[in-house]
């Protein structure tokens, strides 16, 4: 890990100059991509481990095929340094190459940004994005250098050989599919599901319709759109966030934001983290928690009193709570006091969450914030 972090730091030290030179694809590969592959344990000089210009079925080569036991496990398609990687066609192409070759994983990269796709998922090409990494430490909302190193290490030869990437992909996409199925059940509970609940409850006076209404009422939709859990229009005033009245000059219409503003173009892994924390917040007081959207954050409130704010990043979540940092017993490493630092969310206790384990670690603090803010 130390060597990975050292390599990232070295690239960042010359990144501004490299961008000014507007590196073409060949130079990007030589100066940035191949040194990163090397530090991740891939020998780019050994064609049995890294095959350059790997031929595909339609005779168009992919820049790199990374191999374990001489078998390709990961395709890497390179772009020039200043390419924003926003071309869906480029992603679709490398995903198609990987799928046709029976290779589960592929990457689209400009050296700084690495977008990792699971080619075998049955969904649109953009939705196959499992996670993405930017090694630019000066990028807005960039995670700490150590976190960037941990994310990049997922692509190392050692971690792929251990099945880390496969396990991550399976859990992320399986959870997403199960979540959608449960959401459909909750939104319109089927008859056999209602009958099962009635049998388990064992109360003959509860009619199927009453049970159905109760399911919709008390079990927040896992997509965050259940009846009673979201106030519309989905906009929140600064009064609700800060508790302070604001004097306004004239009347300006409030701008309305929706969930898609925050979830668009985010990876499957990050969206799954958001869905989990969303479900947890809504379940703390079923039917009493509302969520509303600002330009930068999603806020969770009970009786108009916010207790949690979330900002969805490319690499994880930034969460703010209404807690005093010095009053929290054993604050986790993922947290910090931002009372003297500018931040978007309400509350001065900030957490940077990048995986499920950290999410579980944060739950007690989210609950504590709700308890402190409950009227």
Residue span(s) of the chain under CATH 3.90.1150 come to 230-244+254-373
pLDDT of 246 reads 40
Question: Cα–Cα distance between 101 and 87 in angstroms, integer?
Answer: 22
Parallel, antiparallel or unpaired: strands 289-293 and 129-134: unpaired
Residue 137: Cβ within 10 Å count: 16
pLDDT of 147 reads 86
Q: What does the DSSP 8-state code read for residue 338? A: -
CATH of the domain spanning 230-244+254-373: 3.90.1150
Q: What's the mean pLDDT when you consider all of the chain?
A: 86
Whether 125 contacts 91, CB under 8 Å: yes
pLDDT of 186 reads 77
Question: Cα–Cα distance between 159 and 165 in angstroms, integer?
Answer: 7
In this prediction, the residues of the chain whose per-residue pLDDT falls under 50 are 221-248
pLDDT of 178 reads 85
Parallel, antiparallel or unpaired: strands 335-337 and 289-293: unpaired
Residue span(s) of the chain under CATH 3.90.1570.30 come to 2-162
What kind of architecture, by CATH, is found in domain 2-162?
Alpha-Beta Complex (3.90)
Question: Cα–Cα distance between 230 and 122 in angstroms, integer?
Answer: 31
What is the enclosing helix (H) or strand (E) of 151? Answer: helix 145-153
Angle 264-315-140 (CA atoms, 0-180°, nearest 5)? 85
Whose structure tokens read 């931040």?
A: 343
Residue 54 β-bridge partners = 62
pLDDT of 237 reads 36
């Amino acid at each position: 890990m130390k060597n990975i972090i050292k390599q990232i730091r070295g690239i960042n030290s010359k990144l501004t100059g490299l961008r000014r030179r507007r590196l073409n694809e060949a130079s990007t590969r030589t100066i940035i991509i191949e040194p990163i592959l090397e530090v991740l344990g891939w020998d780019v000089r050994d064609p049995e481990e890294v095959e350059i210009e790997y031929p595909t079925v339609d005779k168009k080569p992919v820049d790199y095929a990374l191999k374990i036991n001489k078998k390709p496990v990961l395709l890497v398609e390179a772009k020039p340094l200043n390419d924003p990687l926003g071309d869906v066609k480029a992603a679709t192409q490398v995903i198609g190459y990987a799928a046709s070759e029976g290779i589960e994983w592929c990457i689209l990269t400009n050296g700084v940004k690495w977008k990792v796709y699971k080619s075998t998922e049955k969904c649109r090409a953009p939705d196959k994005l499992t996670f993405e990494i930017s090694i630019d430490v000066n990028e807005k909302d960039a995670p700490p250098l150590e976190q960037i190193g941990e994310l990049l290490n997922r692509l190392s030869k050692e971690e792929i050989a251990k099945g880390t990437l496969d396990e991550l992909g399976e859990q992320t996409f399986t959870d997403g599919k199960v979540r959608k199925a449960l959401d459909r059940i909750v939104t319109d509970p089927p008859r056999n599901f209602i009958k099962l609940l009635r049998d388990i409850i064992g109360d003959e006076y509860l009619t199927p319709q009453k049970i159905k209404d109760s399911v919709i009422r008390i079990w927040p939709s896992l997509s965050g759109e259940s009846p009673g859990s979201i106030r519309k229009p989905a906009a929140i005033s600064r009064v609700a966030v800060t508790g302070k009245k604001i004097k306004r000059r004239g009347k300006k219409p409030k701008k309305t934001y929706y969930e898609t503003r925050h979830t668009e173009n985010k990876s499957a892994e990050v969206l799954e983290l958001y869905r989990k924390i969303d479900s947890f917040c809504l379940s703390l007081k079923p039917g009493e928690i509302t969520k509303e959207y600002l330009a930068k954050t999603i806020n969770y409130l009970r009786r108009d009193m916010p207790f949690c704010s979330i900002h969805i990043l490319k690499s994880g979540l930034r969460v703010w709570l209404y807690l005093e940092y010095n009053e929290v017993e054993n604050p986790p490493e993922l947290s910090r006091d931002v009372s003297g630092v500018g931040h978007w969310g309400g509350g001065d206790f900030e957490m940077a969450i990048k995986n499920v384990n950290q999410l579980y670690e944060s739950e007690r603090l989210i609950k504590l914030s709700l308890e402190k803010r409950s009227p």
